[in-house]
Structure 1
Amino acid sequence: MMRNLPFGRTALLVLVLALAATSASGNGDQFHYGSKVMVNDMDESRALSPFYMGPEFAFWDGGIVGVFDREDVVYINIDPTSDVVGENDIRLTPFGDLPAGSQVAKADNDIGKPLTKFGTTTTPRAELRFLDTGGDRAYNLDDPIYLNVVPGEINSNDVRITNYKGFPAGSRVNDTDPDNGLKTSTLPGMLSFFNTNGNINNGGYAIYDRGDIVYMDTQFPFYVVTINDVRMSI
């Protein structure tokens, strides 16, 4: 059918189809979990919103009970008052066919599973930290980020938030991996989110829900997507 259209209309149709394909795929390849915001990215300068309560890192203890190991699925627990996997929590590691960076949905098999929070009396502390690849003691675009359990040095089972030398975001560090044992530094910033549908509560505050994108907001001005911020969800 397209060969019967004038050239200008054909080109326009091709353009529309390409844009539709990009829209249908979400935000495009640049918006994948663990990617960093670059110059002229579509989301640069978007307004970010704070969470009502600061989210926490936690894991579903699916391996050896009482031990954090590679069988445990790791989450951003959006509601820190909850001790179970809830709707719209973020998976930092894959769960079955559900990828790292995905939001938990009502029908998913991990919803309602018990969560163990890091940093309690029986579990190690965990925080987002970066590997200072340039040795300049500053966080830069080339520096990979980890959920670093027992902060200060990359350990086996730590979670890569960004890729590192072919190891993808959401993968776990193994004993023999080249980044195991390397020193880490504190990552500045806070977790915040882009309010995709713009909905607010009666107090005028943004509501975090389905489709909102979580960022690690790493630098001033805060609550604005800036270069080097990290996309923590798909």
Structure 2
Amino acid sequence: MGNKAEYWVNGSGNLLHLKFPARLDFHSKYSHLGPYFSLPDSGLDLTTLKRARGHFELHFLSPDGEESTQYPQEALDMSHRVLQTLSTLTTEVEDVRNAFRVTWHSKPLFKDLPNDNQGAVPCVSRSNIGRFKELLSLSKAKKLAQSKEEKSSSSNNGHNTASEVVRIHDLYDPDSRYSSLGSLHNTKVECPDIQDSQGALIHPRDYRTKLQQAHFVEVEVYLVENSCQN
């Protein structure tokens, strides 16, 4: 797959692919789908932004559950078969205790963050020398660099309009934590492959409104190394 990961395959050599119904637990301690996702309670910085993920806690459907009467028998059978498959892989192959809870982590939510060793001072090229009639302050130079970067990004992604690009400053920020990020609050927010019943992508900024009331979901996974990846 080009990512150096070890994937499970079936007897035909195709990727082991599972699709099953599950129950989404939005409010559990393992689920992080609120306005700050998996970010810590304080101290937001470049390092923490790079680690930010959406955490989805999923439960297999069980005939002993409180809402088991709502489950079609086909859904219970499918959930049971997937659970047996994962149990076999984890207990007999990986020697790991079976769990009835699955936590799925999204890909990184924030894109195009600067490198850790990249300072706030912009790089001025030799071609810029002598071009300006007045001294260029660090703040003006930084804005100039950001403007060029945005124009470059726009030209490379001509199919995207400004209204389609969501940045950190567009996210719901009830505790005003994103506002303290300075220039990082212009970072683009990625959209993982989470879809509604019509197949339309649900953006992370809408998780708290569209997923909070969600109950049953269809999960599609490939098994990678010792975990489930979408």
After TM superposition, the score normalised by the length of structure 2 is 0.24
TM-score (norm 1): 0.24
The structure, 1 or 2, with the larger RCO (C-alpha pairs under 8 Å, 6+ apart) is 2
Structure with a larger share of its residues in helix: 2
